[in-house]
Structure 1
Amino acid sequence: MQSSPQSSSAHSHFSSRPPQNDELLVLLPNKIDVEEESRLYDELAEEDEDVNEPPALQSPRGPPSTYSHDIWLGDHVGQSSVFSRDVRISGWTSVGDELGGAFIVYDCAIRTKEGITVHAHRRFSDFVKLYHTLKHTLPHHLLHFIPPLPPKSPFARYRPAFLDHRRRELQYWLCVVLLHPEIGTCQAVRRWVLD
């Protein structure tokens, strides 16, 4: 089939053949509707909620190694110097007014080997600072163990679905960092938790 002659319609730039199974044609409007974008993000975040849930890093035998299913911190000979036993981000709250500079604070509940739970209230920018500090202070052979932080989303940053999704991603990130046998013992991590 030949394509139709050019006209003023939106379909004039496309072939008149029917779309194949793996093709999807989406016409975008000339402007972005921020409310519609936020609503779609909320729907997608709810659909992905169960699919992308990171695996739990707690077990009856103690926290597993994040790099092997067969190695457990309790199996190591000698005493581990990692002070964290379990890491959860139990929730988040908005502080301030959205128009006057509101920000989100996450409640990081970190249980130590002694069974004491430390609550560290941290903003996303605090996670970013720790990430950069670790990238600049750790030995080169440990840098690839630090996962990337979740991306920013300026349009959805105060939406509950986005914040809950980010909370789960930050919890996974913090587990990987704090429960790592070498990274979890560094001074930058201890300061971040206890300050």
Structure 2
Amino acid sequence: METAGSEPVNQPSRDEVGGKPRAAATATLKPERSSVVPPYWQRHERSSSKLSVNSVSDTTGKPRPILLEDHTDEGSEQCKALWAKHVTVDDYVIVSGTAPGLGAYVSWNCTVETLDGGPMKIMKRYSEFDTLRQQLCKTFPYADGAIPPLPPKSVISRFRPRFLERRKAGLSYFLNCILLNPEFAGSPVLKEFLFS
């Protein structure tokens, strides 16, 4: 007789052919203290919920198609906001301070290829990129995931060529994500960054 809180115990059963005892396949033993498996290691199978099915299907029960929008059309509202087609961070200049090692900084030379005119050249410091990102996050708090992080800072290797090359690639990626996003491209925050 089993108690309410007890675990089932392996009971020997008879093999049909040979009559030899074998362990029941469906019975389980209570695990020992050392063999406890964390819940995130166990296999997790997701059950289909009505909410998730309703969110991706229409009234016929078929999944809704993914809608693509063409923002290259001249009449598109999104196209009107876009004015840049490509941004590159070309190179950098290390500007030395008044005393050796004090006040030195890196200035980044950027080229913005516009849709209607020629290229636009700007020079910015890393701190200006950081200010731009902070202001974009304040202006567009719901779009925080669309604003990529800036490359990390380093006090020790901030003037080393290898570090600066990685930072250059990161800043180029950041600017492309911002300038080629129609929502950010027309914002006063970005215009202030580019034209100040």
Query: Which residue in the other structure is 2:104 paired with?
Result: 102
Give the Cα separation in 1 of the matches to 2:189 and 2:157: 30
Q: Report the secondary structure of 1:88's partner residue.
A: strand
Task: For 1:124, give the aligned amino acid.
Answer: Y
Correspondence 1:74 to 2:75? no
CA contact (8 A) 1:103 1:123 kept: yes
Q: Deviation per CA, 1:4-54: give whole Å up to 9, x if none.
A: xxxxxxxxxxxxxxxxxxxxxxxxxxxxxxxxxxxxxxxxxxxxxxxxxxx
Query: Which residue in the other structure is 1:165 paired with?
Result: 166
Structure ID, larger Rg: 2
Task: For 1:125, give the aligned amino acid.
Answer: S
Which residue of the other structure, out of 120, 131, 134, is the alignment partner of 1:132?
A: 134
RMSD: 1.8
Q: What percentage of aligned pairs have identical amino acids?
A: 28
Cα distance change on mapping 1:127 and 1:72 into 2, 3 Å = farther
| Structure 1 residue 144, shift from structure 2 partner | 1.5
Cα distance change on mapping 1:77 and 1:91 into 2, 3 Å = same
Query: Which residue in the other structure is 1:42 paired with?
Result: none
How is 1:45-124 mapped onto 2 (pairs within 5 angstroms)?
73-75=71-73, 77-78=75-76, 79-97=79-97, 98-124=100-126
Moved over 4 A (4+): 70-73
| Structure 1 residue 117, shift from structure 2 partner | 1.2
Give the Cα separation in 2 of the matches to 1:168 and 1:77: 34
CA contact (8 A) 1:85 1:111 kept: yes
| Structure 1 residue 145, shift from structure 2 partner | 0.4
Give the Cα separation in 2 of the matches to 1:80 and 1:143: 23
How is 1:133-152 mapped onto 2 (pairs within 5 angstroms)?
133-138=135-140, 140-152=141-153
Specify every segment of 5 or more residues in structure 2 that has no aligned partner in the other structure, as ranges.
1-67
* Structure with greater contact order relative to length (CA < 8 Å, sep ≥ 6): 1
Task: For 2:181, give the aligned amino acid.
Answer: H
| Structure 1 residue 77, shift from structure 2 partner | 4.6
CA contact (8 A) 1:142 1:183 kept: no
| Structure 1 residue 115, shift from structure 2 partner | 3.0
| Structure 1 residue 135, shift from structure 2 partner | 0.8
Query: Which residue in the other structure is 2:180 paired with?
Result: 179
| Structure 1 residue 143, shift from structure 2 partner | 2.0
Task: For 1:194, give the aligned amino acid.
Answer: F
TM-score by length of 1: 0.59
Give the Cα separation in 2 of the matches to 1:185 and 1:155: 37
TM-score by length of 2: 0.59
Cα distance change on mapping 1:82 and 1:158 into 2, 3 Å = same
Specify every segment of 5 or more residues in structure 1 that has no aligned partner in the other structure, as ranges.
1-69
Q: Deviation per CA, 1:93-138: give whole Å up to 9, x if none.
A: 1011452311000001111111321111000000000011111112
Q: Report the secondary structure of 1:191's partner residue.
A: helix
| Structure 1 residue 178, shift from structure 2 partner | 0.8
Report the number of matched residues. 125
Give the Cα separation in 2 of the matches to 1:77 and 1:141: 27
Cα distance change on mapping 1:132 and 1:87 into 2, 3 Å = same
